[in-house]
Amino acid sequence: MINIVKYVILIVILGVTGFLIQDYTYDFPISYVAGTKVTLASEYIKDSVFKRLIIPVTIASVPLLYLFVKKVTQLKSISGLVYFIICSTGILFWSFRINMYIQGIISGEIDNLKEVDFGYYLMFGFITGTLLSILIFKIIERKA
């Protein structure tokens, strides 16, 4: 029971954190490259309720993805490494999308903010990190 409460509290905290930082996940990378404060992407995102919830829900799902890995692999004391793999692949996919988006702006192929979708890439990165963790720890489990 205590573990369930602990995970629910962690999910709520991460969801609220995701809601608070979601504008920065769009504005910061574009502003960093442009050299000035850019808020165009977050203006588009504010128009859509569904798109507004993608990043908070994705970030809040990390403990559930960890529990999935823990149940599938049956290994003990792997939590730090699993969280690292899941989060790093999510950030890797997110940064890959930022790079593609910036290259599209530079080449003139992207002129519409509807093509941003950073949240989807973060979500697919977390899912890929989960599958990668399962694969790694299943191989370790077989060798042990």
Residues 6-46: pLDDT tens digits? Answer: 889 999 999 999 888 877 776 666 665 555 555 555 555 55
Contacts 24+ apart (CB under 8 A), 100-107: 101/30, 102/29, 102/30, 102/33
Residues 44-74: pLDDT tens digits? Answer: 555 566 777 888 899 999 999 999 998 898 8
- H-helix or E-strand containing 19? helix 2-34
Asked if residue 25 lies in contact with residue 45, where contact means CB atoms within 8 angstroms, the answer is no
pLDDT at 12: 93
pLDDT at 26: 66
Percentage of residues of the chain with pLDDT beyond 70? 76
Full-model pTM = 0.79
Task: Look over the chain and give the mean of its residue pLDDT values, rounded to a whole number.
Answer: 80
Distances (CA, A) of 39 to 43, 126, 128: 6, 26, 29
Rg of the Cα atoms in the chain:
17
Count how many domains the chain has. 1
pLDDT for residue 124 is more than 90: yes
What residue numbers bound the domain in which 46 lies?
2-143
What's the one-letter identity of residue 34? A
Asked if residue 30 lies in contact with residue 102, where contact means CB atoms within 8 angstroms, the answer is yes
